[in-house]
Structure 1
Amino acid sequence: MLKSLDDLEFIFPWRSYQAELLKHFNSHIADNHFHVIAPPGSGKTILGLEIVRKLEKKTLVLAPTLTIRNQWEDRLQNFFTENCDFEAYSFDIKAPSDITFSTYQSLHAFYKTFEDKNDYYQFFKSHNIETLVLDEAHHLKNAWWNCLMDLKRNSEFYIVALTATPPYDSSRAEVSKYFTLCGEVDDEIAVPDLVREGDLSPHQDFVYFSKPEDLEINFIVDYRRDIADFKDKLLKDEVFINFLIEHRFYKNPNWHLDELYSNTEYFSAILIFLYACGFEIDHQKLEVLGFEKQELIQFPKLDLHWLGILFQNILVLDREQLIEQEKYISTLEKQLRRLHVFERNSVDFIGEQLLYKSLSNSPSKLKSIVSIVKAERESLKRDLRCVILTDYIRKEFLNIKTEEIEDIDKIGVLPIFQYVRYYCNRPEELAVLSGSIVIIHQSILRHFETIASLDDFSFSSLQIDESFLLVTSKGKPKNSIVSILTQLFEAGYIRVLVGTKSLLGEGWDAPSINSLILASFIGSFVSSNQMRGRAIRKDANAPNKTGNIWHLACVDPTDLDGGREVDTLKRRFEAFVGVTNSTIPFISNGFERLNIPDEIPVEQIDTLNESTLNVATKRILTTEKWNNAIGKGTKLTKEVKVLHQGKRPYKRQQQIYYFDVLRFFIVELLFTMMLFYVEFVAQSFHLILQRGVFYFIYALLAAFIGVFGYKLWKAAKLYIRHGYLYKKIGKMGLAILDTLDELGYITSGRASINVNSYVLGKGDVVCNLVGANALENSLFAKALTELLEPIESPRYLIVKTNFFRKRLDVENFYPVPELFGDKKENALVFQKHWKHYLGQSKLVFTRSVEGRKLLLKARLFHVYNAFKEVTKEVMVWK
């Protein structure tokens, strides 16, 4: 225990959400990890220092930048000491003290100085450093991660990880590495907590859609038509069909089982293509994979995803094995290159890169920005504080002539500046702030001079508009240009500021921002969330501030769902918790809370945008919605939503495919039986007189089975396969919950936790825990999601089967969640609780020969949903 840390004591009262988080400290740190998600403004640094104080161990605090590193020492002195007199700290990683503040870059550089890494591990042991604090942990890059993970593997540490946004949208490998280092999320300070306490402003996200230019539409339509023509010709191409029939996977699958196990998507793509051609799949090929003669696979439609998988393997991954057909494959490659489908060893029929680059950079977004700025200015008048962030500067548009503005074909800082300058009123309120170009209006020079000496800067008029000045600094002035323009913006002399997200994104602070336009299309939702954080901070000078965050999307006219840009936004919105736009508001994450239609036809975009602007300017409603929604809950709860599939209206689909088929059948039966009995008795009354009542009853039963037997058989089969879905998922949830409890993951007390499962209006099924803490919720949601998603490569499978199911060909396969599948004894615990709630099943180890065959069979059963979003983890304030 360190005596120096005894002198530290937080000298202010804790906010309620901070106190709640610290209350569970002992249970969270039990696994030597404390991983906290907290938005900007929630006091992450203060919490980190309190955790360090509680652990009472020598500590290394790592931050992504020197500025943030210095903030740690500043908060320590000003919030944990009376006289800023704590001395047992260091900024030098080579000379550590009781608390050492450094950066990830410094640790990595230090790591590289050791030829023998054992000396590196020994250094930390000899200095008794036992706690690592990882600030803004989402910044961890590969090199930084390696030196930390290497250290963690070879020494015992308490790991305290603090972040505003985990990198959920990174690759699965990156996300896995992140959680391996930081541990599972222990607790989260929710945005609603901060809004309720007055530490964040009420705010709302809005999406403004744009239509591509005619040239872009023609390009997209031509591209789609060319791909469709290629696909149609391919389906009739006897040479290609024969090429697939002769492929070793199809011709002799039992000779290549190991390859099939490792690449089931490729084999599936071959089968799906042949099936789409009308080719009858030889069932003997499937029997070797575990399918019985009568079992049917529901093949999905041959879409561009499956076509892409097929050609990615043929042209790249499997090419060496197809060397005898190289001449033919080369002709296929040339065809795809001409279609711009095959580039850099990657096949892309959907055009994600080609079309996305075109739409994300569309000049139509410049008109969107003008519309938003005009509407916000009209609504807020002199109170407007609008920041527009984008990725590139585009210096070639600095001195573009007025008559050429319409010809701008790229989005960037200077194109936005030119459009807003030309099309919006009051250009004197406009400024540009980027790393290499700074522009202000000459009318604010006198205010500029009150902050800094004009002699430290040079000013030159723009050729296109002499009222605007290009500002460059001479040497190193006392006040940086960023600081000066920030002060001018805060004071209201600049009301519309255009800049790059790299300069004005994370770390830049201007609490007065009340309108943020994100014209950025590069980067993950980590950076998007950091940029949003700029607009939702509380402004002491405007206590009633509300923040509008604007997202831009250019719609793909050939895709009713909106295309890749809308998909990207939907993914990013998984990280944003906010209030819904519904009549009865509630707080949730996800794109759905904006109430934007699932389909976005181009002809409806103007109406949609007009409605959005109308809602956005009624800022008092945003505050009212937050106040109403916050009162309906106390904490964010993670739910698993099983998404309703298909385009049919839910009620109709429920009757035909979903899980009330028996009730539907009984209702139908009652109606038709009435007619059947009346008709049968009338026609067969003579049988009673001639042969007696028993003969009549036998005839009635035979006729009944003849008329209703098949329907009853079909209904029973559907029910056995699916059951009532929400009840079934509830039982799965109970099996997971009891397994978590038996394996020691439940610390809140099993008796106080319940599983809640129900159906929403659109047909989605929702399942969540009631009474659990954040970590228990997170583990439960992750396990249930894995259980319901299409099968990939679990170590164990649960096969729900019995004699009756076998006769009906309705075996069901479920992957044992990774949390329980690491050891056989854990998997057996899960199977025990599964049997209790869901009946007989067998546990199969998929790494054996028979197990791998069954795994492939299970994957092929799930192939229909391979590219569908089956489940979604949702955060809801309850």
Structure 2
Amino acid sequence: MQKLSDNLKFKYTWRIYQQKFLDGFQEHIKDEHLHVIAPPGSGKTILGLEILKRIGKPTLVLSPTLTIRNQWRSRLLEFFTVNGEFDAYSLDIKSPDQITFSTYQSLFSFSKSFGENAKEQLLAYIKEHQIETLVLDEAHHLKNEWWYCLFHLKAIEGLTVVSLTATPPYDSTGTEINRYFSLCGPIDDEIAVPDLIKNGNLCPHQDFIYFSKPEAAQIKYIVSYREQILNFTNKLLANTALQEKLITQDFYVNPKKSLDYIYQYPSFFSSIIIYLNSCGYAVNENNLKILGFVNNDVTFPSFTYEWSEVLLQHLLVDQREYFIAFEDILLPLEKELKRIGVLDNKRVNCVGDEGLYRNLSNSPSKLESIFKIVEHTNVSLQEGARTVILTDFIRKEFLNFEGNDTKTINKLGVVPIFKYILAKQPTNSSLAVLTGSLVIVHENALSHLKEILAIVQLGVEPIEGSAGYIFIPVPDALKNKIAEAITQLFKIGIMTTLIGTKAFLGEGWDAPCINTLILASYVGSFVSSNQMRGRAIRVDADNPDKTGAIWHLACLDPTAINGGKDMEKLQQRFEAFNGVSMRDEIYISNGIDRLVLPEEWSETLDLATINKDMLSSAQQKNVFRDRWAAAIAKGNVLVRELKIPYTNETSFARTKKLNALNAGKYVMLEVVLGVSFFIPEFLLKNFGAVLNKGVVQVIYIFCAALILGFGPKTFKALKLYFLFGNQYKKTKKIGTAILHYLIDEKNLNFESNNAKIVAEQNLKGTFSIYLQDASQHDCNIFISLLEEVIAPIDNPRYLLVNVNFIKRKLGIKNYYVVPKDIGKNKTEALRFKEYWNKHVDGSKILFTRTVKGRKELLKARFSHLKYQFEEVSKKAITWK
């Protein structure tokens, strides 16, 4: 068997950031795991080949598509072999070699071919062929059944797993994210976009958003949908039959006898109490005690749509059999919810169903947004414009559209976009459509196309209502050649706006000349769209001054103050990549905050002005080039940090977003200010009493007035202080405990022995905490543990509980989580407690899997309800 390190050698010189990564390779691979984020343009495939060469063992490389699989082979032969002489590779998983390039689908199909005992036979096959390294390229959003094969392979003892991705699936559900990181492991290293721009491997770029409002029909649909849910909720609150059934249930009447059930479904139990409270029922004191409240010291939250979902999901779906006696009441509720679209596929969703989300995401109002961006780009860049519009569907049914009445173009897709732009600009001859089954060009481009293809005749058909444009039927044999030819024509400017599908252009297609990308895609993951985004920010050898503009489209829900589902999805997507801030302070970070958007999206907001500003900013190429340069100069590494913002409100009663850990300070401030105003006023009003009754009696009156006037607020301030303390100092202490534990116990493969905690607080009060002098892997471990400790409590095995004499008298306890990776067993949990007691406070450890423990866990989970606080800490990636 040929030795990989003897037969493969990288022919060129490594870029600075690539060499920096390779210098730390041996440390990363110690635990037989390597998870690397490498943005498009960073040479991810070449680095992957160098990694498997250095590991030096028979390797299976899995890719998402055949195109990318073939790229691995071509990069191997082009960059690592002399005259392509290395032949110890295979493209067929059924005939593996030292390096086997395959796809996830091929692996799944191959495993199915074994029939019975497929898992055991697949593992035996891998061992038989001595495959000891598994490379996962872009292992995100795979079909569910494909995951099983990968987890089976990962179970092989001694197998080294290398995961390479340009974009982790941050925009996915929590389940998908957890599954991804369970397979790929924590991120070990990341090649930073600022380094790529600094080294000239990516061009300066900026993300923009063009906003639109739904069409009148869509608004009517949304408003009607919301009204139906509101009417249903009002009827639910008036449903005395349901209420009378609930108040007779054993777990409600005698909660102490139903602790196992209540602790198994604590959210459902809470939803019943909140529902009945909203219906006017006095809540049983025993029920409050179960939730951790004493002396009715609780301000109940409203019966919101979220609580309604919890209640109905449990009654109608999850525990329907348990509530069989409710059937005469539940059946009408079920029918009504299905009728209005709230109950679908065994899921109750009162906030907005998938149909509502798609209705907005696919809004025809986005057609106007696309046209405005294209029009503005053409005016701004003229012949230099190279715009690609990426969408999901072709929608050939719109090919027969004629005229300029765009109201009938009511869907988003390749053909609707093409027809809409032409309806607005009938003389535009610079458009082209490129998909796997549909190719449209202007007749002016036909001769150039024939020349590149070296053919005399090419079958074409005219397009109705699109003067000058022709449809090219593409035989399978010519599909790739025509795609390459149109890409060349796009490059030289025969056409300047290319409209295509995500499926055809999203991965594998390359055109570095792109300088404007419009992402009109919403189906599936944003990851594949981000592959396309990467192509728009690559440098262009023929245009050294290139800058990239990436446009995202958002259709705002006029009934939602946060902008609705479309905006929410966009915010998630922005977590997946870094960029430079658009205005004000110059910095590089992930997230949508860097665009400085309005905090609330009211109906009166002037979207036209926001869009005009976005278009104007997109023109200012030198500005975002200079901002990138200034921001890059301010740092040298991407840092994973935990950000804890708060609103600077002095009145606690008026704020709902004030962070819990600083609340005591503001209430105490209110007390101090109140007393300072009260004393002079009291003395002036009672000056005569001092002369008549004497100083001592007046002091008694003064003290009584203070207690009556400010006693409750003082008590509340003290309670908040002892419950939460000072957030900034407390979080630093918690971070210190975690860091010392990781360094001293050598747990979780933490290697950064010289790491230091850095906490920064800006003038607005927001602070961030991160590690300095630590690897990306160790920073990820630290931040994940810290976030888990201070996040809302879910279902940990161990809790840290702090209570002293004063807190006991105030009836409060502090609860913090022992992170799951530390709390896997009692020994480690107790070791962590020692560091906690040394650096934070004198807490006791509590195992939550006992009756007593589950009772305390329930109190911990719901203690925040009485203060109505909102956790707002979140991970961020910032260039520092």
- The verdict on a shared fold, with TM-score over 0.5 as the criterion, is yes
Give distance in 2, aligned partners of 1:841 and 1:734: 16
> What is the CA-CA distance between 1:500 and the residue it aligns to?
0.9
> What is the CA-CA distance between 1:291 and the residue it aligns to?
3.1
Instruction: Give the match for residue 49 of structure 2.
Output: 49
Q: Classify the secondary structure of the residue corresponding to 1:254.
A: helix
Answer whether contact 1:121 1:155 (CA < 8 A) is retained.
Answer: no
TM-score (norm 2): 0.93
> What is the CA-CA distance between 1:364 and the residue it aligns to?
0.9
Q: Classify the secondary structure of the residue corresponding to 1:351.
A: coil
> What is the CA-CA distance between 1:99 and the residue it aligns to?
2.5
Answer whether contact 1:638 1:874 (CA < 8 A) is retained.
Answer: yes
> What is the CA-CA distance between 1:657 and the residue it aligns to?
3.5
Q: Classify the secondary structure of the residue corresponding to 1:205.
A: strand
Is 1:392 the counterpart of 2:393 in the alignment? yes
Q: 1:471 to 1:243 in 2, by over 3 A?
A: same
Is 1:659 the counterpart of 2:665 in the alignment? yes
**Deviation string for 1:234-292 (max 9, x for gaps)?**
323333322332344323333333332222221121111112223221111233x2636
Q: Classify the secondary structure of the residue corresponding to 2:768.
A: strand
What amino acid maps onto 2:369 in structure 1? Answer: S
Answer whether contact 1:790 1:863 (CA < 8 A) is retained.
Answer: no
Q: Which moved more, 1:94-103 or 1:571-580?
A: 94-103
> What is the CA-CA distance between 1:56 and the residue it aligns to?
2.3
Give distance in 2, aligned partners of 1:696 and 1:346: 66
- Say which of 716, 730, 733 aligns to 2:732: 730
Q: Classify the secondary structure of the residue corresponding to 2:14.
A: coil
What amino acid maps onto 1:772 in structure 2? Answer: A
Q: How many residues align?
A: 872
Q: 1:800 to 1:167 in 2, by over 3 A?
A: same
Q: 1:650 to 1:329 in 2, by over 3 A?
A: closer
Q: 1:27 to 1:674 in 2, by over 3 A?
A: farther
Instruction: Give the match for residue 753 of structure 1.
Output: 756
Instruction: Give the match for residue 35 of structure 1.
Output: 35
Give distance in 1, aligned partners of 2:148 and 2:460: 47
Q: Which moved more, 1:469-478 or 1:521-530?
A: 469-478
Give distance in 1, aligned partners of 2:708 and 2:413: 71
**Deviation string for 1:597-626 (max 9, x for gaps)?**
011233411121111111111122111111
Answer whether contact 1:2 1:58 (CA < 8 A) is retained.
Answer: no
Is 1:619 the counterpart of 2:617 in the alignment? no
Answer whether contact 2:665 2:717 (CA < 8 A) is retained.
Answer: no
Q: 1:696 to 1:237 in 2, by over 3 A?
A: closer
Give distance in 2, aligned partners of 1:165 and 1:747: 24
What amino acid maps onto 1:112 in structure 2? Answer: K
Identity over aligned residues, as a percent? 45
Give distance in 1, aligned partners of 2:251 and 2:358: 36
What amino acid maps onto 2:161 in structure 1? Answer: I
Q: Which moved more, 1:196-205 or 1:527-536?
A: 527-536
Give distance in 1, aligned partners of 2:340 and 2:481: 50
1:475-624, aligned counterparts within 5 Å? 476-477=477-478, 480-603=481-604, 604-624=606-626
Instruction: Give the match for residue 76 of structure 2.
Output: 76
Give distance in 1, aligned partners of 2:475 and 2:113: 38
- Say which of 154, 164, 167 aligns to 1:165: 167
Instruction: Give the match for residue 458 of structure 1.
Output: 459
> What is the CA-CA distance between 1:699 and the residue it aligns to?
7.4
Give distance in 2, aligned partners of 1:842 and 1:738: 19
Give distance in 2, aligned partners of 1:358 and 1:847: 45
Q: Classify the secondary structure of the residue corresponding to 1:476.
A: helix
Answer whether contact 2:341 2:353 (CA < 8 A) is retained.
Answer: no
**Deviation string for 1:841-862 (max 9, x for gaps)?**
1211111111111112222224
Instruction: Give the match for residue 208 of structure 2.
Output: 206
Give distance in 2, aligned partners of 1:706 and 1:724: 27
1:14-413, aligned counterparts within 5 Å? 14-114=14-114, 115-116=116-117, 117-138=119-140, 140-287=142-289, 289=290, 291=292, 293-294=294-295, 296-413=297-414
- What do you get for the CA RMSD once the two structures are aligned? 2.8
Instruction: Give the match for residue 841 of structure 2.
Output: 839
Q: 1:6 to 1:682 in 2, by over 3 A?
A: farther
Unaligned residue ranges in structure 2 (runs of 5+): none
Q: Classify the secondary structure of the residue corresponding to 2:495.
A: coil
Q: Which moved more, 1:224-233 or 1:470-479?
A: 470-479
Give distance in 2, aligned partners of 1:866 and 1:480: 62
Q: 1:344 to 1:35 in 2, by over 3 A?
A: closer
Q: Classify the secondary structure of the residue corresponding to 2:207.
A: strand
Q: 1:640 to 1:282 in 2, by over 3 A?
A: same
Give distance in 2, aligned partners of 1:864 and 1:410: 47
Answer whether contact 1:799 1:842 (CA < 8 A) is retained.
Answer: yes
> What is the CA-CA distance between 1:305 and the residue it aligns to?
1.4
Q: Classify the secondary structure of the residue corresponding to 2:821.
A: helix
Q: 1:292 to 1:803 in 2, by over 3 A?
A: farther
Q: Which moved more, 1:81-90 or 1:14-23?
A: 81-90
Give distance in 2, aligned partners of 1:696 and 1:298: 37
**Deviation string for 1:42-82 (max 9, x for gaps)?**
11122112222222222222222333223223323332344
Q: Classify the secondary structure of the residue corresponding to 2:732.
A: helix
Instruction: Give the match for residue 781 of structure 1.
Output: 783
Give distance in 1, aligned partners of 2:270 and 2:647: 21
Unaligned residue ranges in structure 1 (runs of 5+): none
Answer whether contact 2:198 2:632 (CA < 8 A) is retained.
Answer: yes
Q: 1:726 to 1:528 in 2, by over 3 A?
A: farther
What amino acid maps onto 1:303 in structure 2? Answer: T
Give distance in 2, aligned partners of 1:747 and 1:262: 35
Give distance in 1, aligned partners of 2:400 and 2:651: 54
Answer whether contact 2:255 2:286 (CA < 8 A) is retained.
Answer: no
TM-score (norm 1): 0.93
What amino acid maps onto 1:232 in structure 2? Answer: N
> What is the CA-CA distance between 1:473 and the residue it aligns to?
2.6
What amino acid maps onto 2:618 in structure 1? Answer: A
Give distance in 2, aligned partners of 1:440 and 1:51: 43
Give distance in 2, aligned partners of 1:766 and 1:60: 41
Answer whether contact 1:640 1:785 (CA < 8 A) is retained.
Answer: yes
Q: 1:627 to 1:426 in 2, by over 3 A?
A: farther
Give distance in 2, aligned partners of 1:413 and 1:377: 19
Instruction: Give the match for residue 825 of structure 2.
Output: 823
Q: 1:556 to 1:729 in 2, by over 3 A?
A: same
> What is the CA-CA distance between 1:387 and the residue it aligns to?
0.8
**Deviation string for 1:463-491 (max 9, x for gaps)?**
21341101013462396221121111111
Q: Classify the secondary structure of the residue corresponding to 1:169.
A: coil
> What is the CA-CA distance between 1:439 and the residue it aligns to?
0.9
Q: Classify the secondary structure of the residue corresponding to 1:615.
A: helix
> What is the CA-CA distance between 1:531 and the residue it aligns to?
2.4
Q: 1:215 to 1:841 in 2, by over 3 A?
A: same
What amino acid maps onto 1:534 in structure 2? Answer: R
Q: Which moved more, 1:536-545 or 1:856-865?
A: 856-865
Give distance in 1, aligned partners of 2:522 and 2:418: 18
Give distance in 1, aligned partners of 2:501 and 2:4: 44
Q: Which moved more, 1:33-42 or 1:127-136?
A: 127-136
**Deviation string for 1:818-858 (max 9, x for gaps)?**
22111212211222222222212121111111111111222
Q: 1:775 to 1:794 in 2, by over 3 A?
A: same
Give distance in 1, aligned partners of 2:401 and 2:622: 40
What amino acid maps onto 1:51 in structure 2? Answer: I
> What is the CA-CA distance between 1:795 and the residue it aligns to?
0.8
> What is the CA-CA distance between 1:456 and the residue it aligns to?
5.8
Q: Which moved more, 1:728-737 or 1:144-153?
A: 144-153
> What is the CA-CA distance between 1:304 and the residue it aligns to?
1.1
Q: Which moved more, 1:123-132 or 1:784-793?
A: 123-132
Instruction: Give the match for residue 473 of structure 2.
Output: 472
